Amino acid sequence: MTDFSSKKALILGGSRGIGAAIVRRFAGDGAQVAFTYAGSHDAAQALAADTGSTAIQSDAADRQQVIDVVAAQGALDILVVNAGALVLGDALSLDADAVDRMIDINVRAPYHAAVEAARQMRDGGRIIVIGSVNADRMPFEGGAAYALTKSALQGMARGLARDFGARGITVNIIQPGPTNTDMNPADGPMASLMHGFMAIKRHATGEEIAGLAAYLAGPEAGIITGAMHTIDGGFGA
Ligand code: NDP
């Protein structure tokens, strides 16, 4: 448990999966939480009612919507950019529009959200983006475009950490390995292939990822910035 009372947090992409676990953790630890979603209206409303948080429909693929939803929150203490898309397949036949939409959601949205948040963020604020261990290791075919989006976040975090460091604002990337969500179910078709790359051969839970997010957003992590935090059961080891 981290004491987030009096902290104001925005989670981009919070209706399901890892994002929903982060909403639950931060709200449970006392933060005033708002989160965005795109399509999962019922799940978002149920989560909001359950946690006392606020659900906002906002498409992370639309730059202006990203900027507007962040700006409307005013002075945040914590921004978490979790919304992500996964497009896998043969690079020669993948739909180019789907790849570009993934780049919009996974790369452009985190950048514009982080910059917009920093305009009003209180000193000592926290910016956390959910990347992937695939930024460091892409051990199977068909993942080039996804890996490119997640490795782009590494350079962003290093640079923005320097841009905002004078104000004590930290910028960090969490790099999960396989995590049990709709995107990557623990009983899905790729599960045993993925477990083969891991030292601890199971999917993580969203709660385990949320625990790391809470640590990075909490009072003990004020000196941690510009860094990648891999939580992957040894997938990248
Ligand atoms: P899910 O697909 O289970 O959930 C994705 C969440 O992001 C949903 O709440 C969804 O909302 C939201 N979202 C997706 N697209 C948009 C959009 N355009 N605008 C707003 N919100 C959006 O994914 P995970 O929880 O598994 O993944 C979360 C993050 O973790 C992603 O960045 C992913 O790349 C990363 N990750 C996941 C891993 C895994 O194994 N699961 C491993 C490594 C990284 P809605 O349903 O309302 O559209």
DSSP 190: T
Q: Residue 134: its pLDDT value, please?
A: 98
Residue 166 CA to ligand 1 centre (angstroms) = 31
Residue 124 CA to ligand 1 centre (angstroms) = 27
Contact 87, 102 (CB under 8 A): yes
Q: Ligand 1, closest atom to CA 209?
A: 30
| Backbone φ/ψ region at 74: left (φ over 0), alpha (ψ -120 to 50), beta | left
- Of 101, 146, 179, the residue with max ligand 1 atoms within 8 A of its CB, to mutate for a pocket test, comes to 179
Q: pTM score, two decimals? A: 0.98
Q: Residue 1: its pLDDT value, please?
A: 87
Residue 82 CA to ligand 1 centre (angstroms) = 6
DSSP 8: E
Q: CB under 6 Å to ligand 1: residues? A: 13-19, 36-40, 59-61, 82-86, 105, 130, 132, 176, 178-179, 181-184
- The per-residue pLDDT for range 175-185, each reduced to its tens digit, is 999 999 999 99
The structural domains of the chain, with segments of one domain joined by +, span 8-231
CATH 3.90.380.10 applies to domain 8-231: no
Q: Which residues of the chain have pLDDT under 70?
A: none
Active site (annotated) includes residue 37: no
- E strands within 48-197? 54-57, 78-81, 126-130, 170-176
Q: Which two tokens stand for residue 222?
A: 């004020």
Q: Rounded to an integer, what distance in angstroms lies between the CA atom of residue 182 and that of residue 205?
A: 12
Q: Rounded to an integer, what distance in angstroms lies between the CA atom of residue 213 and that of residue 190?
A: 26
Q: Residue 68: its pLDDT value, please?
A: 98
With a cut of 0.95, is the ipTM above it? yes
Q: Residue 180: its pLDDT value, please?
A: 98
